């Protein structure tokens, strides 16, 4: 007998939800700017609460502002099977990154509500606070607190680039809840997401069975030289911080290429001071992002970068200070949950392949405390963190159907 064979995702309703929530923070180019803990974020949270309450859910939020929409199970003594992702976006974000995972969860709730089919476990959909890490770095802080990676006090004290504290921003939108973050049982966790890469589309696959997440590390670098007059300071007497920064950008790229094809290195943020056309730059702040599926290779990349950075600046007038601000080890998902995703894809005869996630996700932290797996669907051109991010209604529906069936299969397996 197929599990929940007569319960199916309403693809049209899911697509309508994607378009409706895209209004909160809509950009002229068709994307979304919905930075975490802003008015736009509050608006979409309110929408999530209202929509899931109408589907028979009890809706709550914890001390980090993580929202939980809970559909009761036949056995309320069982911990919930959870589905989650995030509704915040990058400054020039799209309509799918994170959003599909939450709205796919809403689609699962709707399918269960409309069919009257009740799993034994309660089913909860989670909207995690600040997955993106764009306004408040690092990323995934709230699933991180939930899983015990970060302390709540540390995260509350993080400031954005204008000096606003995370805790104050959370209070300002009214989403600091009474339930202590992490005091929330889970039986399993599933996350549906666009691939954010080109592989599924290139291979004509509808479903990515995600087996884990590559390791990634973030660094911050302060480069200190000396501001001086561009017209009167001879070249040998300069302490040009931006010139050193440029060499470090090249070094990051070289190190990634030395570990091809899996090694990745990016400098995505740089602040040049005083940033004036006739002043030799005296200081630069920049970030570095290194990724690889193996932690041992990441160790080697980090060591190479540090050594060559110091060699590059040794004896010179420019000083560099490197800080590792984030370390997310490679993650391996739960075999039984991966299997539930694989079976679900097979049951619909969707073309599928196994894949390692290149991006970080809340699932990476959830995997540390509960059996976890992810489902990917293709996105056009592999484009993400971009206003033109796009996915087809058919693929989105397929992903949500796999999510639904993987959850029902897990409910059956765990209750057996």
- Interface positions with Zn ion (CB under 5 A): 97-98
| Separation of alpha carbons 246 and 223, rounded Å | 11
Provide, rounded to whole angstroms, the least separation between the CB of residue 86 and Zn ion. Answer: 6
| Separation of alpha carbons 361 and 191, rounded Å | 9
Provide, rounded to whole angstroms, the least separation between the CB of residue 308 and Zn ion. Answer: 32
Nearer to Zn ion, 98 or 282 (CB): 98
Nearer to Zn ion, 94 or 122 (CB): 94
Pairing verdict, β 207-213 and 352-357:
parallel
- Tokens coding 253: 């790229």
Which bin fits 266, alpha (ψ -120 to 50), beta or left (φ > 0)?
beta
Closest CA to 134 of 287, 252, 293: 287
DSSP secondary structure string for all residues of 46-83: HHHHHHHHHTT-EEEEBTT--EEEEEPPS-TTSPPEEE
Nearer to Zn ion, 259 or 361 (CB): 361
The residue at minimum Cβ distance from Zn ion is: 98
Provide, rounded to whole angstroms, the least separation between the CB of residue 147 and Zn ion. Answer: 16
Nearer to Zn ion, 140 or 245 (CB): 140
Nearer to Zn ion, 97 or 240 (CB): 97
Provide, rounded to whole angstroms, the least separation between the CB of residue 194 and Zn ion. Answer: 8
Element (H, E) at 290: strand 283-292
Provide, rounded to whole angstroms, the least separation between the CB of residue 368 and Zn ion. Answer: 18
Provide, rounded to whole angstroms, the least separation between the CB of residue 216 and Zn ion. Answer: 14
Nearer to Zn ion, 63 or 196 (CB): 196
Provide, rounded to whole angstroms, the least separation between the CB of residue 94 and Zn ion. Answer: 10
Provide, rounded to whole angstroms, the least separation between the CB of residue 103 and Zn ion. Answer: 13
- Tokens coding 136: 């408040």
DSSP secondary structure string for all residues of 186-254: -SEEEEEEE-SSSHHHHTT-SEEEEEEE-EEEEEEEEEE-B-EETTTS-GGG-B-HHHHHHHHHHHHHH
- Tokens coding 86: 């995030």
Pairing verdict, β 67-71 and 123-128:
antiparallel
| Separation of alpha carbons 182 and 150, rounded Å | 11
Nearer to Zn ion, 25 or 98 (CB): 98
- Tokens coding 242: 């931006």
Provide, rounded to whole angstroms, the least separation between the CB of residue 361 and Zn ion. Answer: 6
Nearer to Zn ion, 93 or 167 (CB): 93
Nearer to Zn ion, 62 or 97 (CB): 97
271's CB contacts (< 8 A; 6+ apart) are 284, 285, 286
Residues constituting the chain: 416
The single-letter DSSP state of residue 381 is G
| Separation of alpha carbons 82 and 63, rounded Å | 18
Pairing verdict, β 279-280 and 81-86:
unpaired
Provide, rounded to whole angstroms, the least separation between the CB of residue 151 and Zn ion. Answer: 23
Mark out the alpha helices in 157-196 (DSSP H runs): 166-172
Nearer to Zn ion, 134 or 211 (CB): 134
């Amino acid at each position: 007998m197929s599990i929940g064979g007569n319960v199916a995702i309403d693809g049209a309703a899911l697509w309508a939800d994607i378009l409706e929530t895209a209004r909160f923070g809509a950009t002229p180019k068709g994307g979304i700017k919905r930075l975490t803990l802003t008015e736009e974020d509050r608006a979409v949270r309110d929408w999530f609460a209202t929509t899931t309450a109408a589907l028979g859910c009890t809706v709550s939020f914890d001390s980090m502002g993580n929202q939980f929409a809970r559909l009761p199970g036949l056995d309320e003594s069982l911990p919930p099977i959870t589905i989650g992702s995030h509704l915040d976006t990058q400054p020039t974000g799209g309509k799918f990154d994170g959003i599909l995972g939450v709205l796919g969860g809403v689609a699962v709730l709707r399918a269960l509500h409309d069919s009257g089919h009740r799993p034994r476990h309660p089913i909860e959909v989670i909207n995690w606070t600040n997955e993106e890490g764009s306004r408040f770095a690092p990323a995934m802080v709230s699933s991180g607190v939930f899983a015990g990676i970060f302390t709540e006090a540390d995260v509350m004290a993080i400031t954005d680039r204008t000096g606003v504290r995370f805790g104050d921003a959370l209070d300002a939108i009214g989403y600091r809840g009474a339930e202590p973050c992490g005091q929330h049982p889970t039986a399993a966790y599933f996350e549906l997401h666009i691939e954010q890469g080109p592989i599924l589309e290139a291979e004509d696959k509808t479903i990515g069975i995600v087996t884990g997440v590559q390791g990634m590390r973030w660094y911050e670098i302060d480069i200190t030289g000396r501001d001086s007059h561009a017209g009167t300071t001879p070249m040998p007497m300069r302490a040009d911080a931006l010139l050193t920064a440029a060499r470090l950008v090249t070094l990051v790229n070289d190190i990634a290429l030395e570990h091809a094809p899996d090694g990745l290195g990016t400098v995505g943020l740089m602040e040049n001071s005083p940033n004036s056309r006739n002043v030799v730059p005296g200081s630069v702040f920049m970030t570095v992002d290194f990724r690889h599926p193996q932690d041992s290779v990441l160790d080697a990349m980090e060591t190479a970068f540090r050594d060559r950075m110091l060699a590059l600046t040794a004896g010179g007038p420019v000083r560099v200070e490197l800080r590792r601000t984030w370390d997310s080890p490679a993650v391996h998902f739960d075999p039984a949950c991966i299997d539930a995703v694989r079976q679900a894809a097979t049951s619909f005869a969707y073309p599928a392949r196994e894949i390692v996630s290149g991006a970080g996700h809340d699932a990476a932290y959830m995997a540390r405390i509960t059996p976890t797996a992810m489902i990917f669907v293709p996105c056009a051109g592999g484009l993400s963190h971009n206003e033109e991010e796009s996915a087809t209604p058919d693929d989105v529906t397929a992903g949500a159907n796999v999510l639904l069936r993987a959850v029902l299969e897990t409910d059956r397996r765990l209750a057996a």
